[in-house]
Structures are given as structure tokens and as C-alpha cells.
Structure 1
């Protein structure tokens, strides 16, 4: 994953633990519940926790989406996502959905929206059935045709029969012209994860970023109980990128005490 730590899992968690991180969000491509024991052993050996299961590679690597015109592709995409939900359930963590919902084609928009809504309902039910919870990520229109803002995503999850929440990503919020601190303040109670990156570059965070203290304060005030993910480019050195972002967050947190 270009926005994730570029190393085998065992090496990545060792390095991240040394830097002070508490846990990891796993991005899965084709993993199910039968992989849970191996993942837990690897991550816990470093003193870390698995905090969430992401599904970005389903679309990013294999071009599988819930709105593809091909029924076989849509079924395959949902099959992968349901497997991730079952894995998340065994791990006892939420499962997130981002760009795998796909993009619209001219003349098919209404049908594609219906396909996506039905699939998300199915995914949310599967997650709940197996002890997980679906988190839907608002993403910019450069990535998907559906649910670009926190309000749009929240309107959808409010229609679901199963409990669900949000992932808020500062990069996508910036791309849609939405102030991240205001979004967090408004939606902290239903947000399970906040994904962070430097504004503009989508690179590692920098010490002194004026947004970070206000963002952390809004999370605290809003009763946020989820996790923060550093989802950004690695600049060719994941360890250095993770260290930079950790230092920036640590510095921002210090201003609140």
C-alpha cells in the first residue's frame, strides 16, 4: 500500500512499537477469518494491537468495486469485503469501507447507487453478525462518485439496520473543502477512526502543524474513542515517515496538557 508502512508485517510492527505506536490498522486484499490467529501472533509479539481492518486494496490492487457494470465483479468485490468483515469480527475490531464503492458511468448512476446501497447494507449486517462494525469513509470525488462528505456518509449509515460509523480522513476532507476540525467536532460521536496526513502534500505530519492541537482538542471534547491512523505517503522511508508523524502528534498532544 503506497500510503502504508512499506515492510513485512513483523518488521513494521517492531519498528512502530519502538517509535511508541500502540497499534496498527491492517489493509487487507484477500484475507478472511482463518488468517486471524497468525495476524494476532505477529502483531502482539511486538506488544502492539490490531485496531481496525481496512479494505482499500480490494479496489486499489484488484479494481473490484460495488458499482462495476459487471455482476461478476460486483459479487467478487462484495465477497472480498464480507471476508474482511468476518476477519474483523474475529479480531474484535471495526472494518472500514472507502474507494471500493466505485465510480458512476453515464446513464447508470441511479442503478449503481442502488447496487452500492444494497451492498453496504449487506456488509454492515455481516459485520454486526460477526461482532464487528462497519465504518464508512467519506472520500473525495477524485476517488469515488458516492458519499463525499461526512454529512452524506452519515445520512447513509443512519438508514442502515445495523450499527455503523464514520472514518474521517483529513486528505479527503481537504479535497472537498471541509474543515477537518469542524467535521470532527460535529461527528466525533460516530467516528471510529481519523486518518491523518500533511495538508497539500499528503505526506508525513510535521511538528508545529497548527491544525493538530485543535483537531485533538475537538476529538477529546467530542468523546472520540477510536484510533488515529497515519495514512500518508512514505517518501521512500517508512520508518522515518512514521517517526516524523509520531513526533508531530506527540508535540501537538503536549500543548493540550
Structure 2
């Protein structure tokens, strides 16, 4: 398993669960100094930072890009794939496609979290799921052009009412035959929704594609009450070889959160 840490450059998400909010040069440097293998980027748009600058930072610090977040489409532009407006749905898919092309140049998959939206009001659950399925099919095909998967993230009940549980999301991907789509297991969301996180991870099986290594309070692992030893054991049993990425609050400060994350993982490695 590899390690990653979140770097956020979206002003509207300044209070969000991302460890480093510095300029990218500083963020990359700090990620490397703390011993991470990669960074997870949360940027306002695909053209927010020149591609050459990112690749230069990768080369300078020996870091991969684990994944690229798409949430700026929601927090900055108010876009979702299940919006009742056809124009907004089209704009949401266009934004995600542009992020997929951006991430593809870095060999990194894109994550769909908040931009999935929700059902309610004039939008029934069946209709919302139909729109989501259509969008995921297109996103999976677009990502395949770059030889990377597309990552779908089940969220807790306070953020979406589409899929909150790992088993339901896994069954959905299989039933809809959604190729090149994998799931993100965010341990903070799972601490709210799952009865047994380790068992839920095992149920995801080959659909598990990314892990947000976060404690129950969305702080660095070990600063809440999640029992993370059986979770790591379940990931090892699955032979999971992806990233454990710290999408957590920078509390009590960013460097402490980064150090605690690395320590919690290293303590479990044989």
C-alpha cells in the first residue's frame, strides 16, 4: 500500500478536510519531507496550474499524483450530475471530463464525490440514478482513454442520499455493468454508515480503488476512535495495493496531521 496526502488550492474549500492549503511548491515539498509517496490534488479547474509546473514538482520531489478531486465543480460552480437542469448536468459532465483529461496526463484517476448530487423535490431516486449511471458510463469510458479508472465515492447520509454504504454501491456498479469504475472507501464516511468497516471493505473486493485514510472525527488516523488495525488487516487480505490518502482536517495543524498519518500507517506495516 502506498501513501498520499491532500493538497487543496480551491479557495471555497479553505475550511475543508484537506491537509495542505499552501501553494503547490510548498505542498509538494512538505509531502516529500513527511515521507509520502504521492499527493492528491484538489484544484479549482484543469487549467489552474500549468501541467509543466506540476510535472516539474513531481520530478523534484519524487512524488506521484494519486488522484485528482472534482469537488470544485460543486463548491465553486454549484454543479452536480443529478441537477434537475439539463444545462447544469451537461456542464457538470463537461467539467468532470476536463478533469479526467487533466488527471490522465499525470496518470491519475479523478474522484467523483460531492458532484454526484442527490435526489429530492422534482427529481426522483430512479431519475437521479439514471442520470448518475449515464454520467458514470461516460466518465469511465473517458478515463479508459488515459488508461486510468474513474473513482466513485459513496458519501454519508448528510452529503448525499444516492449511495451511503459500500455494499450497495458495489452491487450498483456490478448490476449496471459500469466498466472502469472503482470505489473510494472514505473511512470517515464509513465510520458514520457502516456497521463493520473491515467487513465492508472486503465486500467491495476488486471494486475497491482508493482509500481515504481518515479517523472518525475526520482528523488524522489515530486522533479519533476508529479501530484501524482490523481495517488495515482487511486491506492486506484483499491484497490492496492502492493509496491510503489523508483527506483530513489539518488539526491541530497541517504538519502534525501529516506526521500522525504517516506514523499510523508505518506502525501497521510489517
TM-score > 0.5, shorter chain as reference: yes
Q: Distance in 1 between matches of 2:49 and 2:209?
A: 25
Distance 1:185 1:26 in 2: 27
Work out whether residues 195 and 229 of structure 1, in 8 Å CA contact, stay in contact via their aligned partners in 2: yes
Match of 2:98 among 83, 97, 104: 83
Q: Can you list the C-alpha shifts for 1:171-207, whole angstroms capped at 9, x where unaligned? A: 11111133221122222422111112121x2112227
* Structure 2 residue 213 is matched with structure 1 residue 196: yes
Partner of 2:241: 225
- Which of the residues 129, 146, 151 maps onto 1:135? 151
**Paired residues of 1:67 and 1:74 also in contact (CA < 8 A):** yes
Question: Secondary structure at 1:252's aligned position in 2?
Answer: coil
Is 1:170 aligned with 2:187? yes
> What 5-or-longer segments of structure 1 have no aligned partner?
none
Structure-1 residue corresponding to 2:202: 185
Does 2:64 correspond to 1:49?
A: yes
Residue 30 (structure 2) aligns with: 15
Distance 1:8 1:173 in 2: 31
2:5 corresponding residue in structure 1: none
Change over 3 Å in CA distance of 1:136–1:171 after alignment to 2:
same
Q: Aligned partners of 2:87 and 2:173: how far apart in 1?
A: 26
Judging changes above 3 Å, is the alpha-carbon distance between structure 1 residues 160 and 81 closer, same or farther for their aligned structure 2 residues?
farther
Verify the 8 A CA contact 1:168 1:193 in the aligned structure 2. Answer: yes
CA distance in 2, matches of 1:33, 1:6: 15
CA contact (8 A) 2:136 2:181 kept: no
C-alpha contact 1:90 1:131 (8 A) present in aligned 2: no
- Is 1:104–2:119 an aligned residue pair? yes
CA distances 1:36-60 after superposition (whole Å, capped 9, x unpaired): 3332222331121112122122213
Does the alignment pair 1:3 with 2:3?
A: no
Unaligned ranges ≥5, structure 2? 1-12
Tell me which residue corresponds to 1:118.
134
Report how many aligned residue pairs link the two structures. Answer: 253
4+ residue segments displaced more than 6 Å: 207-210
Q: Does 1:213 align with 2:243?
A: no
Structure 1 length as normaliser, TM-score?
0.90
> SS state of the match for residue 53, structure 1?
strand
Q: Does the 8 Å contact 1:24/1:48 carry over to 2?
A: yes
Superposed CA RMSD: 2.2
Give the distance between the partners of 2:48 and 2:106, measured in 1 at CA.
8
Q: Deviations along 1:207-227, whole A, 9 cap, x unmatched? A: 797722222221111111210
- State TM-score, norm by structure 2: 0.86
SS of residue paired to 2:68: strand
- 1:94-144 superposed Cα distances (whole Å, 9 cap, x missing partner): 222112110222242132222222111111111112322111111112111
